[in-house]
Structure 1
Amino acid sequence: MGLRSIVEEKIRQSRLTPLQKEMERILKLPRFTVDLAHVFEKPFKFHDTECFVNTYNEIFINEIYHFKPVPEKDVILDCGANMGLSVLYFARTYPDHLIYAFEPETEIFAILKENVETFNLTNVRLFEKAIWNKEETLEFYTDKGMGGRVVMSYENQEPTRIDTLRLSNYLTDKVDFLKIDIEGAEDTVLRDCKDKLSQVGSFFFEYHNDVNKPQTLHELLNMIKDIGFHYYIKESGVRRSPFIDTNLICESFDMAINIFCYK
């Protein structure tokens, strides 16, 4: 690097906020590095650099999970809690709510649990289980970042075994907000919950389109409309040029779409 480049980089660094500097530091680490992020008043543990930065921006910068509380409802269900950024956001933004957080992957659950303890989130209850349409034991595959799933496999990976809980059993008239980010299992779970979803204040799910299966987003959107909700659609992971791109988000997902459901 020449002297001019060095000077320009120092000037650029001097203009960065502490948050920007920390994010740059994290992104320079190899993926799947376990480290501590210094973006809150206490260190937050993460297991994947890219996962942390993308999720932090979505949740704390863009506030995609910010909702208007409904009187007499005081429960939040976080299905697919991962390392706990969403849990921390919910616990701080809605301190009078009780948060149930579900995360089946053992290594990531341990990090989630540590973060909950570090930040002393007394309004959080943790479950090391996957959300599903029944209680059973299933094979579980993971990309070690954001993509743990029960509905599809990764090549050359031996699955682990995880226990599931039926989401429908947790849907009561006390649920103010439901978040579902379960990597392709959302279709199965939402259909099973159809008769109880109407009593929820509002809910969010990420739809994952599997290129090897029939598309079902239109069916889910009709279901949402039928139970009295308005929906808003926002892209999460997509192809830049859908007519010609063949890139997949993972083994068989060609797009991920955020669906916001409210009355």
Structure 2
Amino acid sequence: MFRNIISSLFPEKVKHYYRLRKYPEYRQNYEEEQELLRLKHQKQEITSNLLGFPFKAQNGLVFVKSYEEIYQKNNYYFETDKAAPVIIDCGSNVGMSILYFKKLYPNAKIIGFEPDAYIYSLLKENITLFSDIEVYQKAVWTEDTTLSFVLEGNFSSKVSLVDDKSNSRIVKVEAVDLNKFLEQKVDFFKIDVEGAEYYLIEHIAPKLVNVDKIFIEYHSFSEKPQNLSVILNILEKQGFRYDIKQPFPTKRPFIDQVTRMREKIFDTHFEIYGFKL
């Protein structure tokens, strides 16, 4: 009670500065919050030291959303007995996921893919301080080929199965058969390829015997059939248990989903966590 009385005598601002000086964890959390606020609305390329060294992203929103998902929510956290696990990261973007894996397992051997030329250039800069990382400026696909690729600049760049020459955001990118990289044992396999996951999972299904844990971002497009059940059935047949999260839950599914379909955007977005016991 006495402590409460004393506390009430000091303004919140004074208590805040006291905590900043007294408690390192409080100061660290405050500095993190302020940096994310600084970056949030920056629409140009940014550099932040929040990860402990200069890290670049195409804009502030990409950095903040990635940081929240990867470092604050720990979406990719996993445990293994191996000191040097093998990790494949399909859809590496600017490399925040790769650096998270390196923080988790410094000796990890990581293979990453990012087809967007500009984003790939930032990715290469961001990983220069680390070893045992191979990154490819290629899309992952069902064969070695050239694909049409829609440049969105944030998270939503994706393979286009329609070659629309009138769309200035569509470019040609090299693609590699993902099966080539699944001949080895893989401890963690991340697939975040903005709608191409269905084609990939069907193609690599027999190779999933070599995968211990898998993370899949599932997206369905309003103009195409939903195929979540196909993906889950493949995981089950390959010996996976799974958990599913909806990163952005709809408050009124019967209303919001129809709106999304009319706007022709992703109408469903799930995170699938597959693991073997």
TM bracket, shorter-chain basis: 0.7 to 0.9
Could you say if the C-alpha distance between residues 201 and 76 of structure 1 is closer, same or farther in structure 2, counting changes exceeding 3 Å? same
> What's the counterpart of residue 150 of structure 1?
159
Q: In the alignment, is the contact (CA less than 8 A) between 1:134 and 1:166 conserved in 2?
A: yes
Q: CA deviation at 1:158?
A: 3.8
> What's the counterpart of residue 122 of structure 1?
131
Could you say if the C-alpha distance between residues 189 and 175 of structure 1 is closer, same or farther in structure 2, counting changes exceeding 3 Å? same
For 2:62, the aligned partner's letter is C
Q: CA deviation at 1:53?
A: 0.8
CA–CA distance in structure 2, aligned partners of residues 28 and 9 of structure 1? 28
Structure that is richer in helix per residue = 2
Q: In the alignment, is the contact (CA less than 8 A) between 1:235 and 1:258 conserved in 2?
A: yes
Q: In the alignment, is the contact (CA less than 8 A) between 1:72 and 1:174 conserved in 2?
A: no
Q: Percent identity?
A: 33
Q: CA deviation at 1:134?
A: 0.7
For 1:150, the aligned partner's letter is V
Could you say if the C-alpha distance between residues 12 and 160 of structure 1 is closer, same or farther in structure 2, counting changes exceeding 3 Å? farther
Greater Rg by CA = 2
Q: Indicate the RMSD between aligned Cα atoms, in angstroms.
A: 2.6
> What's the counterpart of residue 26 of structure 1?
39
Unaligned 5+ residue runs, structure 2? Answer: 1-10, 21-28
For 1:44, the aligned partner's letter is F
Q: CA deviation at 1:240?
A: 2.9
Q: Structure 1 length normalisation: TM-score?
A: 0.88
200-209 vs 14-23, greater mean Cα deviation: 14-23
CA–CA distance in structure 1, aligned partners of residues 14 and 37 of structure 2? 15
Q: CA deviation at 1:174?
A: 2.3
> What's the counterpart of residue 273 of structure 2?
260
Deviations 1:15-55 (A, max 9, x none): 870000000000132x3x10111212211111122221111
Q: Which has the higher contact order (CA 8 A, sep 6+)?
A: 1
Matched, 1:42 2:58: no
Equivalent position to 2:250, from 230, 234, 239? 239
Could you say if the C-alpha distance between residues 59 and 176 of structure 1 is closer, same or farther in structure 2, counting changes exceeding 3 Å? same
Q: In the alignment, is the contact (CA less than 8 A) between 2:222 and 2:264 conserved in 1?
A: no
Matched, 1:171 2:182: yes
Matched, 1:141 2:150: yes
Q: In the alignment, is the contact (CA less than 8 A) between 1:13 and 1:21 conserved in 2?
A: no
